[in-house]
Amino acid sequence: MKRILLFPKLGIAALVIGIGLLTGGGAIAATASLAGEWHGLLDTASGPEAIGIKLNGDDANLSGGEIRPGTQAFDTVTLTGKSLHIRSIPGDFTYDGVLQEGGNMITGTLVLNGEPVPLTLVRGLGGIVLTTEQAAQVEGTWEGTIVIGAINLLVDLHIVRDASHLYVATLDSVNQGAKGLPATFSVADGKLQFKLPAVNATYQGTIDATNKEIAGSFSQNGMDMPLTLRRVAKVASLTTALTDRQAARFAGIWEGTLREFGLLVDLRITRDASGQYLCMLDSPMQGANGIPTTFTVAASDIEVTAPALGGSYKGSIDDANKSISGVFTQLGKAIPLVLAKVDKAATITRPQTPKPPYPYKTEDVTFPGGADGVVLAGTITEPEGAGPFPAIILVAGSGPNDRDESILGHKLFFVIADNLTRRGFAVLRYDKRGTHLSTGDYGSATTEDFAVDALAAVKFAKSRKEINPARIGMIGHSEGGAIAPMCAAKSPDIAFIVLLAGLGTRGDHVILWQTAAMGKADGESPEVIAAGQEMLRKVIEIYAATPDQAAAVAKLKAYADQFAAATTLPAEVRARIAVALPLVCSPWFRGFLAYDPAPALQRVHCPVLALNGSLDKQVSPDDDLPGIAAALKAGGNRDVTTAVLPGLNHLFQPATTGGGEEYAKIPTTIDPAALARIGDWLDAHGK
């Protein structure tokens, strides 16, 4: 499960919570099918021209469509992986594009009458009609900044008239590198409202008399943040002009290590097509690359600001132009960082990540989730042959996890699926609702909602002729280790379950223990750990006494402000409170605190394997594993195997402290002995 630290000490660590504000953990949620309306702008000699493309059918059978203006039909549409190819009937144009992560954007090239033109398409949510007066009020580009503690997110709202003379809206989160989030919107009585379904966010604002400013509030996951949008002729640029001498000194790739955390950092300063320079920040060991920044250069000094991280870097270059010595500051904490110029950035290897060709079949699939509007996208791997095969559903821990349960460059579920498919199991893994290529509302979902989705995955597996419907099981990791028993208690279709760092105690106990254990392992001071415990107990108290979520959120925000104002802890700690607050105020957090896994475990009667690492600092091997065993025994289950695996952390990596700061540094994704332990048990109980 995600680290629920009120004071996360991670180094470039707002990536864990902060950068997910608008993008849902860095990825824009998508609609499962490409069919429907897509919009883009062509750069022409007379200026930008709106273009619309409509795709008919579904991903399995895209059956043509049309391009506007001109309503020209096309008959050839093919989708291969993430590559889309379109060709018109007379052959006047072709379009070749790549579906971007999240599924709401296609970047590619339109070849029109032999001339190639770059064209980015964003998914349309359906345009609306505006009166002349309304169009004058809102049409154009609007810009503003969302502030969450030390984190600043610049956003651009684009409201344009499409080729069918309807108005459509998209939003860019500039500092997060997220563009084209589709929005639905309305204009009435001098007010603008829009909704971003992909990230569970809304905005309501009042348009001033000059039609140049909209003052309002941006809301996401129960948090309201002031946001004033101002009309701009041109969006803010992240580029910087450099003289030839400055470019010779500073342009290139710079690499260094935040030694306190052992995290590699890359700065890439490159020239764009306009001759200006861009600076992108990478944290390769955390799997976070291309984070937009702004930067300035003066004499031998450089200053880089990463607003989405609440971070900055100030340094001075040496006379040889080969080294920059400086300080990286995030959420008030200053860390020395020396960058060296390199020809090529270091490659972070995860040797266990499978590489093709695979000795089994792999298929990307979509299937209905557990609620209306939820379509889950995933991958199923199956052994060669006709089957039927025993099958395993992989259920991820908390956070906006993709089908591979990717974390810090590791792909835990990909490694597990590969291993078990080689052993003769079919394995289904999927993106959680509202993340990556799955639809639905992630921000308002609770553990119970994710359990319903997991049961939908079981139903889908049962429908496939190559899967043995009597031998379907689940592997749940962390929060997934609470979801698997919930499902097994409800469904006789589940024949066995494996709980990896699963929950055996109430959620509030887990959160309190985790915060203290992770803080200690990561070197937090006793004062900071004690403050985190104090805050969490107050959060638990507020939720217990306040059934209404909106009222509880108001109390939580007031308490956080009061605590931050009164505490004598360092400024960096106060900054972390603001970063953690959106998570604490979410419906998921409330539900998790109150969840008791014992009743569900007592109703599980299929075979169970439950494992913990001895160095797990997120789920207690001393409390939760015995809790699982006791609840299963109380329910009469006699086919239960539990084990604490020495020296392994929450991800089942071989570790030294078990702290979260080690996760990225360890090249092993999952200890081979642990993988073998899981596979051997499944061979005996799952086939």
Over 80: is that where the pLDDT of 5 sits? no
Answer whether residue 31 shows pLDDT above 50.
no
Residue 305, helix vs strand vs coil: strand
pLDDT band at 42 (very low <50, low <70, confident <90, very high): low
Strand 467-477 relative to strand 426-430, pairing: unpaired
pLDDT by residue (tens digit) across 393-426? 999 998 888 899 988 889 999 999 999 999 999 9
Q: Check residue 174 and report its DSSP letter.
A: G
**Angstrom distance (rounded) from CA 436 to CA 417:** 19
Tell me what pLDDT residue 28 has: 28
Q: Is 37 within 8 Å of 126 (Cβ atoms)? A: yes
Q: What is the pTM of this model?
A: 0.77
> What are the b/e assignments for 635-666, b being 16+ CB within 10 Å?
bebeebebebbeebbbbbbbbeebbbbbbbeb
- pLDDT tens for 207-237 read 999 999 999 999 875 567 899 999 999 998 8
Q: How far apart are CA 147 and CA 137, in angstroms?
A: 25
Lowest mean pLDDT among 31-45, 332-346, 427-441, 516-530: 31-45
Q: Is the pLDDT of residue 344 over 60?
A: yes
Q: How many CB atoms lie within 10 A of CB 307?
A: 23
- Looking at every residue in the chain, the average pLDDT score rounds to 86
Identify which of 58-72, 190-204, 469-483 has the greatest average pLDDT.
469-483
* Per-residue pLDDT reduced to its tens digit, 133-159: 999 999 999 999 998 777 888 999 999
CA dist 504 and 476 (Å) reads 13
Instruction: Check whether 497 has a pLDDT greater than 70.
Output: yes
Average pLDDT in the 9-29 region?
Answer: 30
Name the most confidently modeled range: 175-179, 525-529, 540-544: 540-544
Structure confidence at residue 2 (pLDDT): 39
Amino acid at 140: G
Question: Under 8 Å CB-to-CB from 236, ≥6 apart: which residues?
Answer: 143, 154, 156, 174
Q: Distance of alpha carbon 307 from its chain centroid, rounded?
A: 18
Region 462-472: mean pLDDT is 96
